[in-house]
Amino acid sequence: MEISAHIVKELREKSGAGFMDCKKALAEVGGDLDKAVEYLKKKGIADASKKSSRITAEGLVASYIHMGGKIGVLLEVNCETDFVAKTETFQTLVKDIAMQVAAAKPLYVRREDVPSDIIEKEKEIYKIQAKESGKPEKILEKIADGKLEKYYSEICLLEQKFIKDPEKTIEQVVKESIAKTGENISLRRFVRYELGEGLEKRQCNLAEEVSKELNK
Rounded mean pLDDT for each run of 10 residues along the chain, 216 residues in total: 81 74 88 88 65 78 91 96 94 97 96 94 93 88 91 96 94 89 92 84 58 67
What does the pLDDT read at residue 118? Answer: 95
Q: Provide the pLDDT for residue 80.
A: 92
Give the pLDDT of residue 155. Answer: 97
How big is the CA angle at 87 (ends 69 and 80), to the nearest 5 degrees?
Answer: 100
| Rounded distance between C-alpha atoms, residue 180 and residue 43, angstroms | 11
This prediction's pTM = 0.70
Domains of the chain: 5-51 (1.10.8.10), 55-103+169-214 (3.30.479.20), 115-152 (1.10.286.20)
Distance CA 207, CA 28 (A): 32
Q: Which residues pair with 165 in a beta bridge?
A: 162
